[in-house]
Amino acid sequence: MSQGKDEGKLEDLYLITLRNGPFAHESFSPSEDLLNFLWNECKVLVVGAGGLGCELLKDLALSGFRNIEVIDLDVVDVTNLNRQFLFRQQDVGKPKAEVAAAFIAKRISGINIKGHHANIYDQPREFYKQFNLVVAGLDSIDARRWLNETLIDLVETNDDGTIDVSTVIPLIDGGTEGFRGQARVIIPKMSACFECNLDLFPPQISYPLCTIANTPRLPEHCIEYASVILWPQQQPFGAGTKVDGDNPEHVKWIFERAQERANQFHIQGVTYRLSQGVIKHIIPAVASTNAIVAASCANEAFKLATYIANPLNNYMLYNGESGVYTYAFETERREECPACGRAQPKKICVSPKWTLADLIEVLREDTELRVKSPSLTVSSRALYYSSPASLEQATKENLPQSLDCLLEEGCEIFLTDPALPLGRKLQIFFHKCSKKNK
Amino acid sequence: MMAERYDRQIRFWGEHGQAALKDCSIYFLVVDDKETSWRDLGRNFFVDEDAVFNHRFRADTTQRLLQELNDEVVGYSQTVSIDRFLKEYSSEDRLLPIFVCCSLDEQILLKTSEFCWRHQIPFVYAVSYGLLGLVRIAIPEHCVWDAREEMVAQELRLSEPFEELEQYCNNFPLESLDDANHSLVPYAVILVKAFKAFMDSHQGRRPETREDQEAIRLLLRSWMRTPTEENFMEALKHCHFIWMKSLAEPNESLQSILKDYKTEMEGIQLQVDRKDRNLKFWILVAAVKHFVIEDGQGKLPLKGSVPDMISDTESFIGLQRVYKKRAEKEHRIIYQRAQYICKQVGLEENFLSPLEVFEFCRNIRSIAVMRYCSLQDEFQNNTVLKDALKSCLDRNEEDAYFYIAFRACLQFHHQQGHFPGQVMNGSLSSKEPSLLDYEQDYIQLAHLAEKWCKSCDIVKNEKLDATLREMCRYGGSELHSIAALTGGVAAQEIVKLVTKQFRPLSGWFIFNGAQSTSATVSLCTHI
Amino acid sequence: MLKLFSLKQKKQSAQEQTENKTSSNKTTAAELRLQKDISELDTGKTLSVYFPDKNNIVEFIVYCKPDEGIYKYGCFAFRFKIPPTYPHDPPKVKCETKVFHPNIDEEGNVCLNILREDWKPILSLNAILYGLQYLFLEPNPDDPLNKEAANLYRDNKAAFYAQVQRSMRESGAYYSR
């Protein structure tokens, strides 16, 4: 054992970062600095410590990333154990992020890994700002949209309007279902974002209400009847209690009612498992697909951080149902994407003493915006709605108010108008001039 | 507890898939004769520092740490060379259910795969090489019981209704139904009626031409009470069932399976004598074949399920019952035929359970048989490869060049004792720049590849040159993410082989991690 | 193109961290989209919208006052709840006025395809408003939620009409001009 510990562990990574090759990125330059950067500086956030998250942590740790944080709100459930290999029976009930981080730290010495048992929505911008890369293994569309927008929001522009690349944090996003999955690379404000092609995600299956109510034919119809129609009628667990798919009592109640209905209509196939699946919209998950998609995400992270090869541009589909098949393609950035649309917040300079009505008049006269009946909100608070009438009534009291009573300097206003396909963000700056200058 | 742990995967491959996995994977065995090194710690998550300090074997450590994952599984390790393992193994009577080889040594690859081929053990090869990942499956014959390929259309026999279906349709006198009931007649019933009406008005002729199709559409529209009657809209959407080529008869691929020698009595007897692993499958195919010829008038057994369609509950459940009953009747005949075959070849009467038979009949339209080319053939006989690579390159799957480059690297390694561009363990730390230079190795590798290309009629082009250089750059290194991806694909394929669900990979899967693309080099005949 | 490694270390924002501004848990893209949908609600003369809280536009009530057809002079309240996943998921809509209608049940569930199985993110709130208005002009007895109403509607329009009038009077949905 002549070899040193770290050198030995890093030997494969050194070899690939110290030599150039025809498939390397054009601006790749072989150097020891690359691994030093990975090893000492590059900070990665893994969002989600589930099926993908566990694999990701292991893959990133063994790809030379040594500063890793992981965030997840969940605790370990027994149904996780078939694929989330950092958890054991005795971990059931404990926070996933913490158990996962502890396991990685124990196995891989010298790693700097931190687990956050927390909600991603509750973290301040500064939390996300500290990372060089974010890798997400989430199953909820909502959380991915939020994360996507948060990273887009962090991108700053230089005075000349170009993007300040030092504020860009790439997002690598993976997802799986059965033997299918996808991996994608999002460079906020520079390539297609999650919101640009939200339609790539199929909507949830739902059944017509009248079928559920009157002509059930499938076991699913009976289960939906119990959860959508009977539950609100009978409120079996107290008024206002919503169906909780993780509460076995709730699932049992729905399963039993569904079974009664199925018996009444001679429909076969209502089971507890199916009931739970329909209520929770459970997606089947297998370990191998998670391994494949997470590994591919980690590979992209490594390429992004070192440029040993071109990072994926920008979407890879995986399908293992018949043979093994992948397809990489570029999704297009949408000019009018509500999250990363190319329009920057428009800077508007106003006097703090202007009234809201003055501001609206300025907006109406703006030749770039060309709005006719604008509606304005600031951090979800209504400033003024031109329509509908009831909101107009409720908000017109703001019109004669001076802006410094309504807004803070530098705040962002949402402007929507029938003439704007998506609405626009405005950033308000105060200047000293007391009169409205036309 | 058990079921809960596996809930998310049972939802995917079902209880019977999980049972197959359980039967097969109650134990695993790691064979490796090397001690754990620091380098292993950078590659493998299932080794630890303790193993390096205490000179433990990789096999032992990996076995121990994998074992922690699931205490329902028993792991073993053997720290012997693969030669010795194969020699000693053949004297044992317990057959391994699956064999996975991860060695970059050509000789080990050939030896292990030959061994598995001889014993009919499914062989999976999985390696990673720099940013390149490769998986290959080899087994003389793999039979898929349920390829889980969604049928484009359900087989409902609407244009050749069986007696019970015809009778059922008579319960729906379209003209005299009130509006409410009229709008709830299942489209299957409507289409049977439309088909009959067409035949009646066309001297018993089946609809064939475009005009016929239009006539049926017009007929359906004329029956609608309101322009948006939804069940009739569904009927219009599915009216091609009436003139489409019947799904009741076996399609081409199924026909060739039914015609296979293994469905004949001598074929089955031979398999019984050899204790072939697919014996059950072929007895069942033979039973279905007899059914098609003797009982089914050329038709396969019904699947027995009905897709959801607009209808009142009673009519739909009634329809379901008609199909299910008929299917059960047919499946029982096949069970009897299977029992008869078993008796003929000297097998016990309960060799096949009724459940197995019924399941097989339900999925008869998605069975498949895959016969692979052995690695021996592939490595020694270039004519097999030539076509495979050509069709791959014709599909523009340029990653096939990585296959050629990989083969050249294996050959290089066999001749030189190291991989092109490889830097010997530990010497990187000397920071000697000349160590990194791979030009000499590249020239030799290119020479090997050129010879190889010639024998395969492949033009050596710039893309291949670049690929060869890239392989020199990799120098036999192993990157964890690529290894993990390759391992994931291999694991998935093993699940397919064990559960006999889904179609496995038909040869080599090549993942190009530099460009995030992949290719499949098919070395398998689907029959 | 972006190059992570070449970027100089990010300005460490230790001071900024004290600020600890938590982000709200809605996506701004979803909010922006909802604001746009709401400010463009096409209410015409037969609809009006009421917002219990102008700063919380995810919940509001739409009053539907058909000016022709069987339900003329009625006023029907629908409570809209917009999920945080809008427009990926459709709004939840319940009828809060008791009404004798083939496609609305006792509990106020509404059978309208675009509220469930046929929803697409490209549809807007207006599509739902049109759908609701249409339900009052042309009830659809083929997809009944209230079977009794559907049968009566199909079999005996006059009796159905009378029953509707009665139910509107009882529930106070009648709205005299």
* Cβ-based contacts of A208 with chain C (< 8 Å): 111, 113, 116-117, 143
Query: Which CATH number is A34's domain given?
Result: 3.40.50.720
Do residues A68 and A42 make contact, with C-beta atoms less than 8 angstroms apart?
Answer: no
Tell me whether residues A3 and B39 touch, CB distance under 8 A.
Answer: yes
- Could you give phi then psi for residue B395, rounded to 5 degrees? -80, 5
- Please state the ipTM of this predicted complex: 0.94
State the CB neighbour count (10 A cutoff) for residue C73. Answer: 14
| A35 & A133 share domain | yes
C176 and chain A: CB distance < 8 Å anywhere? Answer: no
Which domains are delineated in chain B? Answer: 17-147+480-526 (3.40.50.720), 163-243 (no CATH), 252-366 (no CATH), 381-425+432-474 (no CATH)
pLDDT digits (tens, 9 = 90+) for B12-41: 988 888 888 888 766 788 999 999 999 999
Domain contains A83? yes
Residue of A nearest to C20 (CA): A124
pLDDT digits (tens, 9 = 90+) for B300-321: 999 998 999 999 999 999 999 9
Query: Which CATH number is A393's domain given?
Result: 3.10.290.20
Give the position of tokens 């009664």: A260
Nearest Cα to Cα of residue A60 among A289, A304, A310: A304
Tell me whether residues C151 and B180 touch, CB distance under 8 A.
Answer: yes
Residue C37 banded pLDDT, cuts 50, 70, 90 = very high
Domain contains C17? no
pLDDT digits (tens, 9 = 90+) for B423-444: 876 666 666 777 788 999 999 9
pLDDT digits (tens, 9 = 90+) for A259-308: 999 999 999 999 999 999 999 888 899 999 999 999 999 999 999 999 99
Q: B368-372 and B524-526 as β-strands: parallel, antiparallel, unpaired?
A: antiparallel
**Average pLDDT of the segment spanning B239-247:** 83
Query: Which CATH number is A221's domain given?
Result: 1.10.10.520
Tell me whether residues B9 and A321 touch, CB distance under 8 A.
Answer: no
Looking at the 3D structure of chain A, how many domains does it have?
3
Give contacts of C 100-119 with A, CB under 8 A.
103, 105, 107, 109-111, 113, 115-117, 119
- The pLDDT, as a whole number, for residue A202 is 77
Distance from B312 to chain C by nearest Cα, in Å?
A: 11
Of A301-310, A426-435, C157-166, where does mean pLDDT reach its minimum?
A426-435
Residue of C nearest to A41 (CA): C9
Domain contains A338? no
d(CA A140, CA C27): 13
- Domain containing residue C98: 27-171
- B78 beta partners: B31
User: pTM (2 decimals)?
Assistant: 0.89
Domain contains C150? yes
d(CA C56, CA A382): 8
- The CA R_g of chain C, rounded to the nearest whole Å, is 22
Tell me whether residues B5 and A78 touch, CB distance under 8 A.
Answer: yes
Residue of C nearest to B184 (CA): C142
Quick check: is A210 catalytic? yes
| A49 & A174 share domain | yes
Give contacts of A 176-205 with C, CB under 8 A.
187, 190, 195, 198-199, 201, 203-204
Domain contains C110? yes
**Average pLDDT of the segment spanning B483-505:** 97
Query: Subunits that touch chain B (at least 3 Cβ pairs < 8 angstroms)?
Result: A, C
- The pLDDT, as a whole number, for residue A1 is 38
**Average pLDDT of the segment spanning A312-333:** 96
Looking at the 3D structure of chain C, how many domains does it have?
1
d(CA A318, CA A53): 18
d(CA A60, CA A376): 44
Query: Which CATH number is C143's domain given?
Result: 3.10.110.10
Domain contains A315? yes
d(CA B299, CA A156): 68
Query: Is the pLDDT at B327 greater than 80, yes or no?
Result: yes
A145 and chain C: CB distance < 8 Å anywhere? Answer: yes
- DSSP state, B429? G
- Provide CB contacts within 8 A for B22, sequence distance 6+: none
Angle, CA A406 vertex, CA A401 and CA A409 arms, to 5°: 125
Residue of C nearest to A420 (CA): C36
- Catalytic residue, from A54, A193, A210, A433: name it: A210
Tell me whether residues C154 and B179 touch, CB distance under 8 A.
Answer: yes
Tell me whether residues B180 and C150 touch, CB distance under 8 A.
Answer: yes
- The pLDDT, as a whole number, for residue C25 is 46
* Cβ-based contacts of C117 with chain A (< 8 Å): 206-208
* Cβ-based contacts of A390 with chain C (< 8 Å): 48-51
B37, B149, B484 member nearest A322 (Cβ): B149
Domain contains A337? no
Do residues C70 and C101 make contact, with C-beta atoms less than 8 angstroms apart?
Answer: no
A295 and chain B: CB distance < 8 Å anywhere? Answer: yes
% pLDDT > 90, chain B: 74
Nearest Cα to Cα of residue B327 among B360, B290, B292, B302: B302
Domain contains C138? yes
Domain contains A244? yes
Extract the tokens encoding B98: 């699956």
Interface test with A, best of B516, B517, B522 (most A CBs within 10 A): B516
B229 and chain C: CB distance < 8 Å anywhere? Answer: yes
Residue of B nearest to C147 (CA): B180
Domain contains C18? no
Tell me whether residues B180 and C143 touch, CB distance under 8 A.
Answer: no
CA atoms within 13 A on the CB side of B287: 30
* Cβ-based contacts of C56 with chain A (< 8 Å): 380
Distance from C144 to chain A by nearest Cα, in Å?
A: 6
* Residue scoring higher pLDDT (B153 or C8): B153
Distance from B11 to chain C by nearest Cα, in Å?
A: 23
Query: Is the pLDDT at B108 greater than 90, yes or no?
Result: yes
- The pLDDT, as a whole number, for residue B73 is 85
Query: Is the pLDDT at B298 greater than 90, yes or no?
Result: yes
- The pLDDT, as a whole number, for residue A365 is 87
Tell me whether residues A9 and B8 touch, CB distance under 8 A.
Answer: no
Q: A412-416 and A424-430 as β-strands: parallel, antiparallel, unpaired?
A: antiparallel
- Domain containing residue A414: 346-430
- The CA R_g of chain B, rounded to the nearest whole Å, is 29
* Cβ-based contacts of A385 with chain C (< 8 Å): 38-39, 54
* Cβ-based contacts of C155 with chain B (< 8 Å): 178
Tell me whether residues A13 and B479 touch, CB distance under 8 A.
Answer: yes
Burial (CB count <10 Å: 0-12, 13-18, 19+), residue C136: buried
How many beta-carbon pairs below 8 A join chains A and B?
248
- The pLDDT, as a whole number, for residue C5 is 61
Residue A437 banded pLDDT, cuts 50, 70, 90 = very low
C85 and chain A: CB distance < 8 Å anywhere? Answer: yes
Interface test with A, best of C17, C24, C39 (most A CBs within 10 A): C39
Query: Is the pLDDT at A125 greater than 70, yes or no?
Result: yes
Angle, CA B251 vertex, CA B245 and CA B252 arms, to 5°: 125
Residue of B nearest to A1 (CA): B37
Residue B94 banded pLDDT, cuts 50, 70, 90 = low
Q: A133-137 and A171-177 as β-strands: parallel, antiparallel, unpaired?
A: parallel
Q: Which amino acid is at B313?
A: T
A132, A228, A395 member nearest C4 (Cβ): A132
Distance from B133 to chain C by nearest Cα, in Å?
A: 26
| A224 & A324 share domain | no
C16 and chain B: CB distance < 8 Å anywhere? Answer: no
Distance from C120 to chain A by nearest Cα, in Å?
A: 8
% pLDDT > 70, chain A: 97
Domain contains C14? no
pLDDT digits (tens, 9 = 90+) for B66-75: 998 888 888 9
| A165 & A254 share domain | no
Q: How far is CA B12 from CA A165, B7, B491, in A?
A: 43, 9, 15
Query: Is the pLDDT at C24 greater than 60, yes or no?
Result: no
Q: How far apart are the first and last CA of chain A?
A: 80
Domain contains C59? yes
Mean pLDDT of chain A: 91
| A180 & A132 share domain | yes
B9, B71, B484 member nearest A295 (Cβ): B484
